[in-house]
Each structure stands twice: as structure tokens, then as C-alpha cells.
């Protein structure tokens, strides 16, 4: 699966700014829909702030780039839905920390049978879904069983394949039996497939998700914004910020202006790195840069000539100066792993020296393969990082005798249909945002990369079934094999550039899982309305 992470301010005076009761949209220009925030008090009606807003201690507006087309990740792919919902609306039996570790969440602990096939989860008591239903072993069983049913069509459901049986041992004890030991399964339970749901809350997942998390969905406008309100009945620590709006903006200039004018409080996953310096030079803002699980892959169709020859794929690895692409296309932000398809939060991540920038070696390999002055099509999704990177990559490929012609594709619809689904491409570039997706990318020969290597599949299977202390070393061997076979070229690990008001803290920077957890956001002091000339 593929994902992307991704006016003037006028105010109306009011003394009743304790609660933000509603968020709506008003059209400010043809390209930017400005949010109106309605501020209310105990006994008064709504007071509208037209094209901007008054910042308050209990509200925050976060700008993001990629908008979810629906809130139902059981049927739709992409990173935008879990980014908004996992850890905020939905929770799992376990969660993934920012360091990539598995931590208890709705399960306080678990036991593993001697044969490592049965997990017995001890569930947290006193937890309720936002519709009032109690979280129990029965709802946990329902959630896992539903992933395996036809109700789920999201391809990530394959992560639940190891499960053969679920049993509610008692009200707060759940037993899950696997067909074989699996190191990856428990980790995947911290992703969207482990989201806990109630049978009475799945009828309208596209617009009204029901979970146990610290927030509930208040309002959702497709492609525009999603507003979240703190869940008053939340079992854990209440969010310091009672109301959070996720505002989806595709124009980077408009997004930057919205932060400057006070229309938003922060930009997460800023996709205009060239603007970062202007915010760093202003002491009203803070810039934080972390890493994500996003791997910007230069994918080669392993089943189509000339890339069905490993020598040609290796030539492409040598032909591209990855750090130069990072510096030129993304302002120096992003990490070069030497082509390794694993972010630093994965325990098998490392920097490879196998393919340094060496155009002469690339030409030698192409000559050995009998490939001279070959013409290919480079399908490039209409995303800033992809189009910027493609310009330099094309010139580097041209330098070694591969003539690439750009075919720009609308994203997500056209790219997902033609490149991902139909496998109709020669070379492409895309950010694969899903965490720990090496088995998906390189363990399935029917995936769009067409990478078909029995030795890799054997290593991946052995790693998954190995004792926990052998998991990472075996995964490292699988990655070594993938690099040797040049399955794809990871140009860089996508950075998480966060630009924020300096007094707004707690926005996650390094993200190892799928969700942008918002409950930790708070202000160091009360903000007031502001404008910039």
C-alpha cells in the first residue's frame, strides 16, 4: 500500500473562549478553504471568527497535505486515514511507540505459549467505546475476526493471516492462536488492523468511526478538514487540547501563509522544504525535523525488460546520486540509507555502501547486459517530492545511456490504477509510507514491483518464525539479499518537517507507526490572535 504524509486573520472580541464548540468552513479563495472556528461559552450563543481564528488554550489547527477520501480504512488504503485516526479515535491491544517498540494499550499485558503460537491478552477494565459500549474480550474477538472477514478489503488485512482462532476466555481475557510463530503479527496489531471496534459502531465507518481513543470525530468534510473533540469518557489521561482540527491543504504557499496569519497553528509533514529557513529565522516559530516510515522508492518493474535483468537494476542503483537528489529536490531533508528500504526506527535498518554513486560502473553493467541507449517511461505521480526528484534522476539516467521520458500521473487515482494495480510502468517513484512493509514490497511476486526471489521469501519467512532474538538479524539478511538483487532503490527516507507556533508543543516528530497521535499537544501559555504584515 502507498501513502503520503503529508489569508488574513480577523477576530471578534469575546470573553468566552473556554470551549470550541464547532468548526465549519468558509471559502476564502478558489484554492484555500478557510476554517471558521466557533467559540462559545456557558450561556451565550456562537461567535464566529470569519477568515481566521482566535487561538485558545484548548484548541489547535494542524495543516496536513494528503487528505483521506473516507474515514473507513477497512475498505480503503493510503496513509491519510490511519494518520488521522490511529491513536486518536481508534486504539489497539498494543501500540507502536515513536521508537518502534511494542507497548501495552488496551491490553495491560500478554502471555505467550511455549510453542509461541498462542497469545493470551489481559485486557484493561473500565474502557468504553465512544458510543457507550464496553470494551471486552468479546469486542476484541469481534475486531480481529472482522479483519479476516469479507468486511475488510484493505490489502493490509493480510497481516492478520496468521490468526487461526480467537477465544474470549472470560470478560477480560482474550486468547489468539496463530498457525505458526510470527514475530510480525504482534507488531502489526499496533497498526490499523489491530484497531478495536464494537459491533454497534461499524455501520458508518466512512464518516462516523467509533473507538476507545482520546478523541471522537466531530465533523468531516472530504478533502477539506477533520475536526476532533476530546472524548470525555476516555479511560486514560485526558488530552490537554480539547479540540483539534486537521486541515488538508495542497498548496504549499497557501499553507505557509495560513501559519503566518494564524489560520493554522502548525504544519505537519511540510512539503515545501525551501520555505523552512524563513520560519527558522522568525522567533515566533519552531521547526522540528524527525523521521517517518516513508520510503521514497525508485521502483523498477522487475518483470519488464530491461529491468528483469539484475545487472540493469544494479546499474540504476549506481547511476543515481541519492544525496544529490535529497539536496536538490528536498532541501537536504531526508535520510540516505544507501538504498536500503528500511527507516532508522526498524531494528534491521542500516546504511549500505554497496551502491555508491558510480556512473562508470553503471555503464559497465549496462554494457554487460547488452543494453545501449534504451528508452523507458518514467511514471511520476503529481507530488512535489516525486516531480522534484524525477528531474535530477532523469538527467543521471541519461548520463549512463537510459533515456527516460516522464509521464506525469494524477495521484492517487491514476497512479494507483495504472502503476500500482495494472503494473503498467517501467520506472516510477513513490513514497511507501507503511511501516515494516518489506514482506509486502519484496515478499510477494504479484506486487507491482514484480520482485520475485525465492531466497528472499525464504529469509523473510524464517525471520518471522524465528525466536525473537533472531528476528532482526534474519531480517537484516533478507534486506542484504534484496540489496544484492537491487529490488528497488530507496532514494531517501521521507522526513517529517513540523513547523509550528513556538508555544504549541507535543506534536509527534518521529513516527514509527501509522498514527499522528494528538493527545499530547498543549500550549506553554495562552495564545492570542495575530497577524503578519
Residue 336: phi and psi, rounded to 5, are -90, 115
Measure Cα distances from 356 to 323, 334, 398, 489 in Å: 10, 17, 18, 12
- The span from the CA of 299 to the CA of 243, in Å, is 40
User: Among candidates 56, 212, 221, 70, which has minimal Cα distance to 143?
Assistant: 212
Q: What is the predicted pLDDT for the residue at 31?
A: 32
Q: What is the predicted pLDDT for the residue at 56?
A: 65
- The span from the CA of 514 to the CA of 77, in Å, is 12
- The span from the CA of 177 to the CA of 238, in Å, is 34
CB 523 within 8 A of CB 57: yes
- pLDDT 10s digits, 263-307: 999 999 999 999 999 999 999 999 999 999 999 999 999 999 999
Could you tell me the pTM of the whole model? 0.85
Spelled out in words, what is the top-level CATH class assigned to the domain 293-494? alpha beta
Element (H, E) at 366: helix 359-368
Rounded to a whole number of angstroms, the CA Rg of the chain reads 24
Q: How many residues does the chain have?
A: 533
- The alpha carbon dihedral of 364, 369, 375, 376 has a sign of negative
Burial class (CB in 10 A: 0-12, 13-18, 19+), 25: middle
Residue 94: phi and psi, rounded to 5, are -130, 165
Burial class (CB in 10 A: 0-12, 13-18, 19+), 60: buried
Q: Give the domain ranges of the chain.
A: 59-265+504-520, 293-494
Q: What is the predicted pLDDT for the residue at 19?
A: 32
Q: Cis link prior to 390 (omega < 30° from 0)?
A: no
- Can you spell out the DSSP letters for 207-272? T----SSSEEEEEEETTTEEEEEE-TT-SSPPPS-SEEEEEE---HHHHHHHHHHTS-SEEES-S-
Q: What is the predicted pLDDT for the residue at 463?
A: 98
Q: What is the predicted pLDDT for the residue at 37?
A: 35
CATH of 59-265+504-520, one of 1.10.10.10, 3.30.1490.20, 1.10.579.10, 3.40.190.10: 3.40.190.10
Q: What is the predicted pLDDT for the residue at 434?
A: 87
- The span from the CA of 341 to the CA of 294, in Å, is 9
Q: What is the predicted pLDDT for the residue at 5?
A: 35
- The alpha carbon dihedral of 418, 423, 427, 429 has a sign of positive
Q: What is the predicted pLDDT for the residue at 493?
A: 98
Beta strands 285-300 and 225-230, pairing class:
unpaired
What is the full per-residue pLDDT of the chain (533 aa) written as tens digits? 454 433 333 333 333 333 333 333 333 333 333 333 333 333 222 222 222 344 567 899 999 998 999 999 999 988 899 999 999 999 999 999 999 999 999 999 999 999 999 999 999 999 999 999 999 999 999 999 999 999 999 989 999 999 999 999 999 999 999 999 999 999 999 999 999 999 999 999 999 999 999 999 999 999 999 999 999 999 999 998 999 999 999 899 999 999 999 999 999 999 999 999 999 999 999 999 999 999 999 999 999 999 999 999 999 999 999 999 999 999 999 999 999 999 999 999 999 999 999 999 999 999 999 999 999 999 999 999 999 999 999 999 999 999 999 999 998 889 989 999 999 999 999 999 888 999 999 999 999 999 999 999 999 999 999 999 999 999 999 999 999 999 999 999 999 999 999 999 999 999 999 999 999 999 986 444 443 32
Q: What is the predicted pLDDT for the residue at 271?
A: 92
Secondary structure string (H, E, C) spanning 53-117: CCCCCCEEEEEECCCCCCCCCCCCCCCHHHHHHECCCECCCEEECCCCCEEECCEEEEEECCCCC
Measure Cα distances from 233 to 88, 91, 212, 229, 230 in Å: 14, 14, 9, 12, 9
- The span from the CA of 454 to the CA of 389, in Å, is 32
Q: What is the predicted pLDDT for the residue at 506?
A: 96
Q: What is the predicted pLDDT for the residue at 408?
A: 97
Burial letters 403-428, b for 16+ CB under 10 A, else e: ebeeeebebbeebbebbbeeeebbbb
Q: What is the predicted pLDDT for the residue at 38?
A: 31
Q: What is the predicted pLDDT for the residue at 525?
A: 66
Burial letters 442-472, b for 16+ CB under 10 A, else e: bbbeebbbbbbbeebbebbbebbbbeeeebb
Q: What percent of the chain has pLDDT over 70?
A: 88
Beta strands 285-300 and 427-432, pairing class:
antiparallel
C-alpha cell recorded at residue 519: 493527545
Amino acid at each position: 500500500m502507498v501513502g503520503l504524509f503529508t489569508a488574513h486573520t480577523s477576530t471578534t472580541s469575546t470573553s468566552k473562549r473556554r470551549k470550541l464548540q464547532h468548526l465549519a468552513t468558509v471559502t476564502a479563495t478558489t484554492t484555500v478553504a478557510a476554517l471558521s472556528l466557533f467559540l462559545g461559552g456557558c450561556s451565550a450563543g456562537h461567535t464566529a471568527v470569519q477568515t481566521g481564528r482566535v487561538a485558545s488554550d484548548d484548541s489547535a489547527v494542524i495543516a496536513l497535505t494528503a487528505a483521506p477520501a473516507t474515514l473507513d480504512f477497512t475498505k480503503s488504503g493510503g496513509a491519510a486515514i490511519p494518520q488521522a485516526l490511529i491513536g486518536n479515535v481508534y486504539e489497539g491491544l498494543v501500540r507502536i511507540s515513536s521508537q518502534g517498540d511494542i507497548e501495552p494499550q488496551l491490553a495491560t499485558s500478554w502471555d505467550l505459549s511455549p510453542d509461541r503460537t498462542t497469545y493470551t491478552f489481559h485486557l484493561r477494565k473500565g474502557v468504553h467505546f465512544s458510543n457507550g459500549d464496553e470494551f471486552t474480550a468479546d469486542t476484541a474477538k469481534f475486531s480481529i475476526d472482522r479483519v479476516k472477514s469479507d468486511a475488510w478489503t484493505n490489502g493490509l488485512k493480510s497481516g492478520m493471516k496468521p490468526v487461526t482462532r480467537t477465544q474470549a476466555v472470560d470478560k477480560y481475557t482474550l486468547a489468539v492462536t496463530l498457525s505458526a510463530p510470527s514475530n510480525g503479527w504482534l507488531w502489526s496489531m499496533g497498526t490499523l488492523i489491530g484497531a478495536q471496534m464494537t459491533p454497534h459502531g461499524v455501520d458508518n465507518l466512512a464518516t462516523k468511526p467509533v473507538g476507545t481513543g482520546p478523541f471522537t470525530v466531530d465533523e468531516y468534510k472530504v478533502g477539506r478538514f477533520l475536526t476532533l473533540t476530546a472524548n470525555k469518557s476516555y479511560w486514560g489521561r485526558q488530552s490537554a487540547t480539547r479540540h483539534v482540527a486537521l486541515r488538508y491543504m495542497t498548496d504549499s504557499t497557501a499553507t505557509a501563509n495560513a501559519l503566518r496569519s494564524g489560520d493554522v497553528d502548525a504544519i505537519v509533514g511540510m512539503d515545501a522544504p525551501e520555505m523552512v529557513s524563513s520560519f527558522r529565522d522568525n522567533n515566533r516559530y519552531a521547526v522540528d525535523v524527525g523521521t517517518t516510515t516513508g520510503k521514497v522508492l525508485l521502483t523498477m518493474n522487475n518483470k519488464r525488460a530491461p529491468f528483469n535483468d539484475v545487472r540493469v537494476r544494479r546499474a540504476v542503483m549506481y547511476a543515481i546520486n541519492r544525496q544529490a537528489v535529497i539536496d536538490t529536490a528536498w532541501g537536504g531533508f531526508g535520510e540516505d540509507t544507501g538504498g536500503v528500504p528500511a527507516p532508522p526506527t526498524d531494528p534491521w535498518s542500516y546504511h549500505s555502501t554497496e551502491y555508491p554513486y558510480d556512473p562508470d560502473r553503471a555503464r559497465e553493467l549496462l554494457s554487460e547486459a547488452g543494453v545501449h541507449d534504451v528508452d523507458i517511461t518514467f511514471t511520476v505521480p503529481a507530488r512535489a517530492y516525486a516531480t522534484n526528484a524525477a528531474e535530477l534522476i532523469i538527467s543521471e539516467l541519461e548520463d549512463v545511456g537510459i533515456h527516460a521520458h516522464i509521464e506525469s500521473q494524477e495521484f492517487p487515482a491514476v497512479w494507483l490504477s495504472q502503476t500500482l494495480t495494472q503494473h503498467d510502468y517501467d520506472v516510477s517513484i513513490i513514497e511507501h509510507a507503511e511501516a515494516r512493509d518489506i514482506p509486502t514490497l519484496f515478499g510477494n511476486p504479484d506486487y507491482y514491483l514484480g520482485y520475485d526471489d525465492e531466497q528472499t521469501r525464504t529469509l523473510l519467512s524464517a525471520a518471522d518464525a524465528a525466536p525473537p532474538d533472531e528476528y532482526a538479524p534474519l531480517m537484516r539478511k533478507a534486506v542484504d539479499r534484496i540489496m544484492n538483487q537491487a529490488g528497488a532503490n530507496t532514494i531517501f527516507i521521507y522526513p517529517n518537517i513540523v513547523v509550528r507556533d513556538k508555544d504549541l508543543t507535543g506534536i509527534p516528530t518521529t513516527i514509527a507507526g501509522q498514527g499522528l497521535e494528538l493527545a499530547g499537544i498543549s500550549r506553554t501559555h495562552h495564545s492570542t490572535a495575530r497577524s503578519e504584515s
